[in-house]
Amino acid sequence: MAVLLYIGILALLSLAVWTIYGVIYRLYLSPIAKFPGPKLAALTLWYEFYYNIVLNGQYVFEIKKMHEKYEQLRLPGADELFQGPIVRINPWELHIDDLDYYDELYAGSGKKREKYPWFVAGGGSPGSVFETIPHDLHRLRRSAINHFFSNRSITAIEPMIKAKVSQLSDIFHAHMISKKPVNLRVAFSALTLDIISDYCYGESFGALKNEKLAMEWYYMLEAVMAKAPLFMHFPWLLKVMSLLPDSIAGPVLRHHRNSRNKVGRVLRYEDTDSARQDTVFHTIRDSDLPPEEKKLNRLADEGNILIGAGSETTAQTLAVLFFYLLENPEMITRLRDEISGVEGDITWGKLEKLPFLSGCVTEALRIGSVAAIRLPRTSPTEDLKFKKWTIPAGTPTSMTNIYIHHSPVVFPSPLKFDPTRWMQSKSDPEHGLEKYFLPFSKGSRACVGMNLAYAELYLTTALLIKRFDFQLFETTARDVKIHRVNFVTEMAPDSKGVRVRVLGDREG
3-52 pLDDT per residue, tens: 777 777 777 877 788 878 778 989 999 999 999 999 999 999 999 999 99
- Contacts of residue 129, defined as CB under 8 A and 6 or more positions apart, other chains included, come to 138, 141, 142, 145, 302, 305, 448
Pick from 490, 413, 431, 500: nearest CA to 227: 490
> Interhelix angle for 184-201 vs 158-178, to 10°?
150
Q: How far is 337 from 454, CA to CA, in rounded Å? A: 21
Residue 80's pLDDT is 47
Q: CA 376, CA 96: separation in Å to the nearest integer?
A: 10
Residue 49 near residue 122 (C-beta atoms within 8 A): no
Angle at 132 between CA 131 and CA 136, to 5 degrees: 155
Q: Angle 184-201/251-267 helices, nearest 10 degrees?
A: 30
Integer CA distances (angstroms), 17 to 10, 12, 41, 63, in order: 10, 9, 21, 31
Is 130 within 8 Å of 303 (Cβ atoms)? no
At residue 271 the predicted structure's pLDDT band, cuts being 50, 70 and 90, is: confident
Could you tell me the CA-to-CA distances from 229 to 235, 439, 495 in Å, in that order? Answer: 10, 20, 22
Query: Which one is predicted more confidently, 58 or 109?
Result: 58
Give dist(CA 286, CA 386) in Å, integer: 45
Whole-number Å distance between alpha carbons of 123 and 143? 21
For 71-105, write each residue's pLDDT tens digit: 776 555 555 445 569 999 999 999 999 999 999 99
Residue 222 CA to residue 312 CA, distance in Å, equals 8
| b (16+ CB within 10 A) / e for 306-339 | bbbbbbbbbbbbbbbbbbbbbeeeebbebbbebb
Is residue 57 within 8 Å of 29, Cβ to Cβ? Answer: no
User: How is residue 74 annotated by DSSP?
Assistant: P
The pTM (predicted TM-score) of the whole model is 0.93
Q: Which residues have a Cβ under 8 Å from the Cβ of 152 and sit 6 or more positions away?
A: none
Q: Is the pLDDT of residue 263 over 70?
A: yes
Contact (Cβ atoms closer than 8 angstroms) between residue 473 and residue 181: yes
Residues 99-139 pLDDT 10s:
999 999 999 988 999 999 999 988 899 999 999 999 999 99
- Contact indicator for 474, 493 with CB cutoff of 8 Å: no
